[in-house]
Amino acid sequence: MNKRIIICFVVLAILIAVLEISLSSLLRKYYIHTIILSTLFFLAGLFLIWHYHSRRFQKQVRDIIEFSEGIARGDFSHRLLSAEEGELNMLAGHILSMAEELRNRLEVAKKQIQTMENVLKNMKEGLLIIDEKGRVLLFNDSLKELLGIPSINQQQSATEILRDAGLLSLIDDSRLLNETISREIYLRSDRYLQATSSPIQLSENEKGIIMTFYDITRLKRLEQMRKDFVANVAHEIRTPITAIKGFAETLLDGAIEDRQNAIRFLDIIKRHSERLNSLVNDLLTLSAIEQGEIKIEITDVNLSETVDSLFALIGDKASSKGLYLKKSLPEDMPLIKADRDKLFQILLNLMDNAIKFTDLGGVTVGAEKVDEGIMLFVEDTGCGIERKHLPRLGERFYRVDRARSRELGGTGLGLAIVKHLVKSHGWQMDIESTPGKGTKVKIIIL
């Protein structure tokens, strides 16, 4: 029993005894009644004290139970008032200490979970963890994007999600050999993945597989572009070299004595050497631009004067095909901020292409004021380009009609140079074309 209750009992007994002695002279003749009355007072006081402390004890126990149930639900908002002394005080103290320790651990766990969720959310690589039965335990959003899956549910099987024989084979081999295996996987969505599968220990008695997926589509395309570039360079160089070598050997074998044919052969050698020189110059220019070796020096440029200079330079080539050259500039055309030489090179390449692929009509060089700034354009009435080719225009050595381009002496690098020079200025380029009606290359000068 609580020490305070015992002390109260003793004090009450003493008070009753004192009261009894003080009243004994008056109540001597009623001695028996006094004893009975004292006993009743004692029992009543004892009951009242017991009832008070019993209610208080029950309330403290209920508070402890409610506090414990709140903790079990994860609710730490309630407060527990410690009992004043005794075993309840010790119990309340232990519960408070446990609750504080549990709260701290839950806070740490929440932070760790939040950190893991942020990591998974911001990972560009796909992540998938499956158990030994092939059921999904964990994944991130990047995995859905890489595989083109709208939704993934936990406990789904890897077969339902991956749906690729190469990926499923990778899992089986990794589990069978109990080692990390990495492979390049080509998906039917025209995407390349570098997939890695590794065994992991999920618990003491359970193993699983963790897989990571890296999108290497861009790297594969760049690698293919590199291979195409090397093959195209080799082919473009081989063609004029073969022609030069062949006609030179023919001359050395005696054709030099045939003056008429000798002059024709020498003219062919000259044209192929010029083509080879043009190819080398374009390659060097493109390489210098891509490596940042060519600096853009911005000055005020008079577009009308620049176009006149271009017409003077390229006019004979257009006249030889019976084509017109037209300038279409507004009367109040302002000076534009550009590198004069680079702008000249941009327009020269565009006009040269336009003349090459135009047999009737001509080429118009002009400018218009638009919301973004000034739109500079080169428009022809040539053969035009099919829509499917437009996204690839500007790639090195990409030509819509390879046979005609080779016949006309094109290297396939002119538009690539234009594209880089436009980008170096911070401008934008767009190409519109209709087969049989012509092509319009627009440059937005911001």
Give tens-digit pLDDT for 256-268. Answer: 787 778 888 888 8
Q: Which residue do the tokens 């000034």 mark? A: 374
- Whole-model pTM: value is 0.50
Q: Are 440 and 433 in contact (CB under 8 A)?
A: yes
Residue 19 pLDDT > 80, yes or no?
no
Residue 209 pLDDT > 80, yes or no?
yes
Q: Which residue do the tokens 């271009």 mark? A: 310
Most confident region among 97-111, 256-270, 318-332 by mean pLDDT: 318-332
* Alpha helices per DSSP H over 189-302: 217-252, 259-290
Task: Read off the pLDDT of each residue in 409-421 and give the average, rounded to a whole number.
Answer: 74
3.30.465.10, 3.40.225.10, 3.90.245.10, 1.10.287.130: which CATH number matches 223-290? 1.10.287.130
CATH 3.30.565.10 occupies which residues in the chain? 299-445
Per-residue pLDDT, 68: 67
Task: Read off the pLDDT of each residue in 192-202 and give the average, rounded to a whole number.
Answer: 89
Residue among 268, 420, 395, 421 nearest 343 (CA)? 421
Task: Read off the pLDDT of each residue in 210-234 and give the average, rounded to a whole number.
Answer: 82
Give tens-digit pLDDT for 363-414. Answer: 999 998 888 788 899 999 988 888 877 777 766 666 665 544 455 455 567 7
Per-residue pLDDT, 38: 59
Task: Read off the pLDDT of each residue in 142-164 and give the average, rounded to a whole number.
Answer: 78
Q: Are 170 and 213 in contact (CB under 8 A)?
A: no
Per-residue pLDDT, 1: 47
Task: Read off the pLDDT of each residue in 226-234 and give the average, rounded to a whole number.
Answer: 75
| Residues whose CB falls within 8 Å of the CB of residue 76, separated by 6 or more in sequence, listed in order | 70, 99, 103
For the record, the structure tokens of 97 come out as 């200490």
- Strand partners of residue 200: 208
pLDDT band for position 124 (50/70/90)?
confident
- What's the CATH fold of domain 299-445? Heat Shock Protein 90 (3.30.565)
Per-residue pLDDT, 408: 47
Give tens-digit pLDDT for 345-366. Answer: 889 888 988 888 888 999 999 9
Q: Compare 331 and 291 and report the one with higher pLDDT.
A: 331
Task: Read off the pLDDT of each residue in 89-115 and give the average, rounded to a whole number.
Answer: 69
Could you tell me the end-to-end alpha-carbon distance of the chain, in angstroms, rounded to an integer? Answer: 91
Task: Read off the pLDDT of each residue in 26-49 and give the average, rounded to a whole number.
Answer: 58
Average pLDDT of the chain, as a whole number: 77
- Strand partners of residue 192: 186
- What's the CATH fold of domain 123-215? Beta-Lactamase (3.30.450)
What count of other Cβ atoms lies within 10 Å of the Cβ of residue 416?
A: 22
DSSP at 212:
E
For the record, the structure tokens of 190 come out as 């025209």
Residue among 383, 370, 377, 361 nearest 422 (CA)? 377
> What are φ and ψ of residue 429, in 5° steps?
-125, 140
Give tens-digit pLDDT for 52-88. Answer: 666 666 666 666 676 666 666 666 556 655 545 555 5
